[in-house]
Amino acid sequence: MENFVEILCAGNELLIGKISNTNAQWLAKRITTLGLKVRRVTVVGDDVGEIAAVLKESLEREPRFVITTGGLGPTFDDKTLEGVAKALNCELDKNDEALKMIEERYERYVAEGRMERVELTPHRLKMAKLPKGAKPLFNPVGTAPGVLAESGETRLIMLPGVPQEMKAIFDESVAPLIREVAGNLTFYEASIDVRGVPESELAPIIEQVMHDNPYVYVKSHPKVSERVSHLELHLSTTSADGKLARQHVGRALIQISELIQQKGGKTEPIEAGD
């Protein structure tokens, strides 16, 4: 079984371009840093059929994890768990543990004066209905719990769409599961800024450096500038040995910088976080 992850984001707001899919970027970065590879990200609307279809296709590729965002809340268009149940061909069932989490959250809202009393309306109960056999994941920030389900050797993890809630559940409950699979794999990356050499002249240099440094992946990202060719080169590797990873990338960086300078180009390291 290959160690890869697929991400599914549900939300009409993503399909009309109302918001940028920052959840997918955050998850992709975290998963990559934890040592696993994200192979596909899919975005669909708030539609049970679409969500179920994408999940079924995804499960056929046998990823270790499918992580979904969005569609866990109390409104009619929060349809992710219905989609999961359809994909797994099971029922949605009231889950006592999830119900307890939701009740406790509303009790806290009452204590904080945000709500007069806890009343478990059908819309609130909806959040406690999980696919049969699934487990709730504690949401330290909001109401709807995350959900963990299994299908074959794939774990399906459903997270809310509100970024703070998604991140909090990921860090608390999902990162440990990924670490367990990834072992001590780590991802190491570095970037340099390149001016004065067009991408088409860099192409054969990149090929040579990747040939000579088989563990390192090099990718060029052109930047549009008026009169000078300007690119970012991104070098990355994944290794069980952090020191070796840094060495591999460092060696490739030196080689590629020299080759670029021989072509008359200028290189400059880019600090992480730029």
In the region spanning residues 230 to 259, those forming contacts with a copy of itself, defined by CB under 8 A, are 234, 236
32 touches a copy of itself (CB under 8 A)? yes
16 touches a copy of itself (CB under 8 A)? yes
206 touches a copy of itself (CB under 8 A)? yes
Q: Of the candidates 220, 247, 255, 261, which one interacts with a copy of itself according to CB under 8 A?
A: 220
Residues 84-103 that bind a copy of itself (CB under 8 A): none
Q: Of the candidates 128, 202, 216, 235, which one interacts with a copy of itself according to CB under 8 A?
A: 202
Q: Of the candidates 56, 57, 92, 135, which one interacts with a copy of itself according to CB under 8 A?
A: 57
Q: Contact region for a copy of itself (CB under 8 A) — 36-44, 82-90, 147-155, 243-251?
A: 36-44
Is the Cβ of residue 50 or residue 86 nearer to a copy of itself in the bound state? Answer: 50
Q: Of the candidates 51, 66, 162, 216, which one interacts with a copy of itself according to CB under 8 A?
A: 162
62 touches a copy of itself (CB under 8 A)? no
117 touches a copy of itself (CB under 8 A)? no
75 touches a copy of itself (CB under 8 A)? yes
Q: Of the candidates 21, 247, 255, 261, which one interacts with a copy of itself according to CB under 8 A?
A: 21
Is the Cβ of residue 46 or residue 173 nearer to a copy of itself in the bound state? Answer: 46
Closest approach of Cβ 208 to a copy of itself, in Å? 11
25 touches a copy of itself (CB under 8 A)? yes
Long-range contacts of 45-50 (CB under 8 A, 24+ apart): 45/10, 45/11, 45/12, 45/15, 46/10, 46/11, 46/12, 46/70, 46/71, 46/77, 46/78, 46/79, 47/79, 47/83, 48/79, 48/82, 48/83, 48/86, 49/83, 49/86, 50/83
Size of residue set near a copy of itself by CB under 8 A: 77
Q: Which residues of 12-41 are buried (b: 16+ CB within 10 A; e: fewer)?
A: eebeeeeeebebbeebbebbbbbbbbbeeb
d(CA 90, CA 87): 8
Query: For residues 81 and 158, is the Cβ–Cβ distance under 8 A?
Result: yes
Give whole-number Cα distances, 251 to 91, 141, 273, in Å: 54, 44, 22
Long-range contacts of 21-29 (CB under 8 A, 24+ apart): 22/163, 23/69, 23/70, 23/161, 23/163, 23/166, 24/69, 26/163, 26/166, 26/167, 27/67, 27/69, 27/166, 27/170
274 touches a copy of itself (CB under 8 A)? no
14 touches a copy of itself (CB under 8 A)? yes
40 touches a copy of itself (CB under 8 A)? yes
Written as one letter, the residue type at 30 is: R
Q: Which two tokens stand for residue 181?
A: 């699979």
Closest approach of Cβ 24 to a copy of itself, in Å? 7
